[in-house]
Amino acid sequence: MADTNFDIIIIGAGPGGYVTAIRAAQLGFKVAVVERQFLGGICNNWGCIPTKALLRSAEIYHYMTHAKDYGLAADNVKVDPAAVIARSRGVVNRLNTGVGFLFKKNKVTLIKGEATINAPGKITVKNYDSPLVNMPKDALGAGSYQAKHIIVATGARPRTLPGLEPDGKLVWTYFDALAATKFPKSLLVVGSGAIGIEFASFYRTMGAEVTVVEVLPQILPVEDAEIAGIARKQFEKQGMKIMAGAKVTKLDKKADSVAATIEVNGKAEQITVDRVIAAVGVVGNVENLGLEKVGVKIERGVIKVDEYCKTSVPGIYAIGDVAGPPMLAHKAEHEGVVCVEAIKGLHPHPMDKLKIPGCTYCHPQIASVGLTEQAAKDKKLDIRVGRFPFMGNGKAIAQGEDQGLVKVIFDKKTGQLLGAHMVGSEVTELIQGFVVAMNLETTEEELMHTIFPHPTISETMKEAVLDAYGRVLNM
């Protein structure tokens, strides 16, 4: 008979769950992971990874249609929606196989099904019938299992609002938007966070007429206002229609289109589009886990945890989206590592949420870490702000990507780097330089004495630091 006793059982095989399992196994724990649908979770299957594959296709298409800007010619450039989606799904399948391999390599036991916590240390797994299941055939199945430590890593799902309920045909969630074999000619995106803007950018590049509606006065609401403003101008230059401070009050579904009523500045206007994407955030998967029954405290739809991911019940922990914002895969992974290292008694540093980078992979890209300028002012901090535009960078100009900005915020008294914000080509790859600097408690003096290679776009980072102290060289 299969062994049902473990040191740690993790519920959920998303990026948080599977990374936590691997680290726990490295630390010598006997580990099992319960997953009801697919290895890699939403991130690998219907989120981070497939969207980046789609956006890469859009990027290549953009360059092909602008070949003349680079002294080249590309004739009869066309989009094959089915092939674009198929490539994206192929990337997903490759990564799913990789997660399964890592489980076997690290001797992590996989249990297929839906878990319920009956009591601290005890769970029941029942069969879960879903056409999306991609479990290895040798995974364990339904039954009762025990572990001293149970970690909930069940992730999140798309939030729905009254009147914007998705139907899979006319009103989409990101699940539907990732699997459309026929691309719409017109699209309404409700919500301008990372998910909404990425899909708006993808479909606009592929030729759709795109309208984005955001209830707040600023698109990309969590970003620095100056950076969001630059991004908005670039989106509008690409032909995207942005309606901020607006809300969708009604959707009238037709046979193959939707008439949307939008209220902005106290006035109502109507547009008709082929499809609508509801991108109004996500909500934690806290239901049907038995959490309330065993006394785990839930606040505002997420599990309340301490700095080491402990819940209100000893022996039960929570990480990732289900444990609250920011709802990011890399936050889930790091939380999981902190959690199991604390269980092992290694005394890890608690995660500092101000040092978690955020990235949006639209065109142009947006990346940030730490305090925005307004947040620093709200804290009554005495700050220095530095800026450097891409138009002053040789590599950006050579690449034809001279529209962008790097912005840095320092504490005037101590030289501490409080925040960094970027918009432009490949900034999602650059932001980690500032994340490392913040973790090392680097000051402006050390950054100014760091040698950046030339020619690279990364030189904008140093120039922005120099600008904060009146020493900018190339502008």
330 is in an annotated binding site: yes
195 is in an annotated binding site: yes
Q: Which of 349, 363, 449, 454 is catalytic?
A: 454
| Angstrom distance (rounded) from CA 88 to CA 359 | 20
198 is in an annotated binding site: yes
52 is in an annotated binding site: yes
Which residues are within 8 A (CB) of 153 and not within 5 positions of it... i.e. 6 or more apart? 10, 11, 12, 14, 16, 17, 20, 318, 319, 320, 322, 332, 336
191 is in an annotated binding site: yes
193 is in an annotated binding site: yes
281 is in an annotated binding site: yes
327 is in an annotated binding site: yes
82 burial via Cβ count (<10 Å: 0-12, 13-18, 19+): exposed
165 is in an annotated binding site: no
246 is in an annotated binding site: no
458 is in an annotated binding site: no
CB 423 within 8 A of CB 230: yes
Strands 316-318, 302-303: pairing is unpaired
Q: Is 62 a catalytic residue?
A: no
By C-alpha distance, which of 150, 148, 118, 130 is closest to 34?
Answer: 150
| Angstrom distance (rounded) from CA 318 to CA 150 | 8
214 is in an annotated binding site: yes
**b/e map 453-474, b = 16+ CB within 10 Å:** eeeebbbbbbbbbbbbbeebee
Known binding site: residues?
52, 191-198, 214, 281, 321, 327-330
Known binding site for FAD: residues?
52, 321, 327-330
Query: Known catalytic residues?
Result: 454
Known binding site for NAD(+): residues?
191-198, 214, 281
